[in-house]
Structures are given as structure tokens and as C-alpha cells.
Chains A and B, each alone.
Chain A
Amino acid sequence: MCGIAGLIHRGNTSNVGFELQGMLQALKHRGEDSTGYALYGKTDGQNFIMRFKVGENVGEGSTSVMEDVSVYDERKKIVDGYLSDLGAKIIKEERILPYSLRYEIEYNKDLMEFSQKIESVPGVEILSMGKSLEVIKDLGNAEAVCKRYNLDKLVGTHAIGHARMATESGVDIKSAHPFWGYPFSDVSVVHNGQLTNYWNNRRVLENKGMRFMSECDSELIAVYLAEKMRNGATLEEGMKESLAGLDGVFTYFVATKDSLGMAKDTMAAKPLVLYESDDLVAMGSEEIAIRSVLPQEIETYDPFDGEVKVWQI
């Protein structure tokens, strides 16, 4: 089933980590195999923030294979060496969990080359790369993940998130949403639905040099949009093309450094409730997600079939 939520403060900042946690927790009945956050924080915009994992969460419910922590250390060491080879300078390093790290990096070259090099280390995946984007995803419900990663203090402009009920692929971090729009900095995607032309599209996109890290159909949306943008399309143009290019039922959100967008398939088979005002847009699979940030009586509506909307901060 899965639940998605997103919000954007226009011309303002807020405690988006806490707000999104409340929205996703309200949707936990739609799935709590894993929960993911894509938070757009308030930064100086100078350095990249790289969130990456060197292993999987092998806790209860996980479909991943148990590994010794020493393997994680070894992988981290190789990543550090590759960063040096690439000319990237680590400004700040945080190891939040044995398998999950956050680096602040000074780097100004090609991100595709960078990502390919780092992810050539087996078991290593970049969850996000951006100057304001941070993707945090792990097993468990919204509260558990928020607590594990201390997200409730994060101040920013916008955020999207996902509460996942695993259906098409494993219960692991690599299949959890949001997906980073590799190789674009600050692009992330969450999706509720099922894509039926996943393998056809994947083969075409892989032949064009795009990378897939999981077998989750939702990852296709991030890669599909990234490929469109790589060929010069705007985000909104890419999203409009996706209505015909992606087959199946879907409602998805995509966020960039300064915008937030939603798209709904032509069957309108997946739910979405939307609240829009001059200074705030909040949306989710169910109204109760919006009510967690706006308990007062408000005007909400369901976008129609085939609708695409994009808002700027």
C-alpha cells in the first residue's frame, strides 16, 4: 500500500524533520517496513552533504544478510581512499550508525564519475548527494527512524517522505524510498503505486548509462526523471512526460533544491490529498497526514487524474 507525504514552506523555514515525522507517523498503517525522509535543510550551499551506507540494517524483519561490523569499517576505509583519489575533501564526518554515514564534502567536479567510483565498492550506496538534500531511510516506522537519526531538530524549507509496505522487493534500506535522482544533486523521489513497465524502461535507461541500485519499481521514477533532465528537460516537463512514459498506477512526489512537485497517473488510482496556501503546501496519501501539521479546519482537495503540479520555495 505505502504512504507518501510532503510539504514545502514558501519563503520561510521550519522544523521540517519534526513536521514530516508527524505526517509519516500518521500514515504508519499504510506500511512500516521502512520509512524514509528527504529533507532539504538550511545550509550555506558551499559543500556537498553525502549520506551513504556501507551495509544494511539486519535487524528484525530485514531480508538482508548479516555482516560483521569489521566489513563496514573496511568499506568505509576504501570510500575514504576513493574520495581522496577523486580530489574530494572531507570537511566533516559523522558515523550515525555502524552502517550509515554522513559526510560534508568539498568537491566541484562531475557527480556521475564521483558516484560511480564510490559505489564501485561492494555494499556501498550513496543515499543522497546534495547541497541541501539529505536522504535518511531505514527499517521501522517514522518515529523509530526519526529517533535513530535525530531528525526532529532539522530546520529546512521542504521535505518528502515515505512509509513503506514492501511488496515488489525486499525489506531493506536499498529498496526503501526516497530515491536520489542520481546523478543530479538535490533531487529525490517518493512513490505510491506500482509500475508495470519497469523492466522495459530499466533496460533502455541502463543502456543510456543510468544506474539502478535496487529492484524496486519506484526507483525507475527517479532515474527516468534524471535522464530527462540530463537531456535538457525541466523538472515539470519530465514529470509531464512521465504520465505517458510510465505505465501502471502511481502518485509520486519529486523534490529539488528549490521546488516540490507531484504527479498523478491518468487512472487516478492512488490517493493524494492536497492543501495549498501562499506560504505552505502540504500533501499526503491521506488527510490525517496533513492534519498532523494543520489540525485546524482547512480547505483540502484531491488532485485529478493526470495532474502535475510544481511549487517553488
Chain B
Amino acid sequence: MANLKTSEKKTKAQSMGLHSEVLTGKTQQKFFNPDEAENFYYFGTYDVDFNKRTEIDVKNMECREANKKIDELMKDGYGTIVIKNPQGKHSLGVGILNKLNLIFEGSLGYFGCGSMDGPIVRINGRVGWSCAENMMAGKVVIEKNAGSCFGAAIRGGDLICKGSVGARTGIDQKGGTIIVGGDAGAFTGFMMQRGRIIILGDVGINLGDSMYDGTIFVGGKIGSFGSDAVETELTDSDQDWLKRKLKVAEIGENFDVSKMTKVVAGKKLWNYDALEPTEKKGAI
């Protein structure tokens, strides 16, 4: 995104004696140079072996204790960790910035698997509100239902719920894919900005309300469209992508994607097409 104007400003500012300080700390801007790769360190990451497997019972642990335990196990090189008895506890499995196979034998409460970047998570139960909020990359598969704000503000990765989800699924979504095998509540895709949502069942009222961009695919009935959300043509490439995605996600493999409804933002928003030309809006 660098342009001439910005460069000029920078040069002028520097010639005036500004920005002479030496930047330090986490906020310092760095540009990646492969020759210096060994100097780059992603805080909180470890080399793990997926074949090295262990189990922990978190029944009598507070969430901080359990998360710290997961971190310690990764530090010891465990690449597959099974969590027993999560029993609806909040904020389990958050902030993991590592490749990891994480399996929850039970249900999670609020904010499960939030702010993570990389792990593959399987939850053999249900999740509460705001599952995988702010996820950067990775994959989360939930075997049962999920609460509201499912995948709020995710930037990337795949978030899959085999059951039904609550209201405001994909609120403020900025990338990635959310796939729901069952129904979804009201305000699905509320204020979404990027990425894709696939709902195989029905959705509630105000679908895609105030969405900036992104795409929503719905297999069932739609309660109502929200402001700025419009239906558009489902293309062949959409259908190919949906088939591939559902197959990889191991959900609705035999689902007839040709009957799905495609929903996009009806208004052209400033600079959005320029930022991501692949997200074409066919119904402007």
C-alpha cells in the first residue's frame, strides 16, 4: 500500500529532523528479510511433534491454569493434546500461536479458542458465545451446537459447526470461512467485512445486516435480509468452491449446492474493491 505521497511525507518529516529516535519494542515496524529469518521470533511458539500425544483433565482447573498447562505441554514438544472434562469452562484454548492438534472431550463455555493462529481444534461437544473470536488461522471443528457471535471478527482459518449456531454468527468477520451444518439465528454476517459464511440450514432475520463485503451462502430459508444485503447469482465457480470446501470440512458432502442462495453487500463501499478485487459484487 505504500505510495508516493506517503514516501514524500516521510522524507520531509525526516529532513525536518523528526523520527530520529531509535525504535524499540514490539511496535517497531520490521520488513521481512529471509537472510535474517533466524532473528525473527513469533512469541509463544514452539517446535512440536504431532505424534507426541498427551491428555490433561481440567475438571478441577481454572481456565488460566488449564491454558498455562497447554502452553507448558507445547513447550515440551507435545503436538497432540487431549483436554478431558472441560465442562463448559470459559476461555479455554485461547491465544495459541502454534501448530497443534488440540482435542476437547466435552463442551466449552464462552470465548473458547479465541485469538489463535494455527492450531487444528476438534471440540466433541458444544461451544458457548464467541467461539474462535479473532482467529487468525487454523481450523476449529465443533461436533454439536454453538452459541451466539460464532466466529466474531475472525481474520482467517476455517470455523466449522456441525450443529446449529446462535445469533450474530460472523459478526465483524474480516476473513476466513465459517461453515454451519444446521440453522443460524438472527443477524448472521452482521457488519461482516471479508470472508465467507456457509449456512446449510435456515437463517433468522436480518441476514447480512450492514455488511461491508464478503459473501454468505444459505442452503435453507432466510428469515429476512438486513440492510445492505442482497441476493446475487450463484456462479459455477461458487458451486465448485462450495463443494470443495464442504468436502474438506467433512460436512454436507452430498449437499446440493446448486440450490443455495448467495448473499453479498448491496452497496459499494469506499476503496473496498481496490483492496480486494477478488471479492466482486455482482449485484451493485
Contacts and interface: CB of A to CB of B under 8 A. Distances in A.
A286 B90 CA distance: 9
A288 B87 CA distance: 7
User: Which interface class (under 10, 10 to 19, 20 to 34, 35 or more) fits A?
Assistant: 20 to 34
A301 B107 contact: no
Contacts of A268: 148, 166-168, 185-187, 204
B interface secondary structure, majority: loop
A150 interface: no
B185 A305 contact: yes
B144 interface: yes
Contact of B147 (A266, A269, A297, A302): A302
Contacts of B167: 267-269, 302, 304-305
A295 B145 CA distance: 18
Nearest to A268: B167
A300 B165 CA distance: 11
B139 interface: no
Nearest to B165: A302
Contacts of A56: none
Given A266-B186, A268-B186, A286-B109, A300 B204 contact: no
A266 B186 CA distance: 8
B88 interface: yes
Interface stretch (B122-130, B214-222, B243-251): B122-130
Contact of A287 (B126, B166, B204, B205): B126
B3 to A, nearest CB: 42
Interface string A232-272: 00000000000000000000000000000000001111010
Interface residues of B, number: 29
A291 interface: yes
Contacts of A297: 106-107, 125
A295 B110 CA distance: 17
Contact of B110 (A286, A301, A306): A286
A287 B186 CA distance: 21
A85 interface: no
Interface in B115-147: 125-126, 128-129, 144-147
Contacts of A301: 126, 145, 163-164
A300 B144 CA distance: 8
Contact of A304 (B109, B129, B204): B204
A290 interface: yes
A273 interface: yes
A299 interface: yes
B89 interface: yes
A267 B148 CA distance: 11
A269 B204 CA distance: 14
The 4 lowest CB-CB distance pairs between A and B, nearest first, are A287-B88, A268-B167, A302-B166, A305-B186
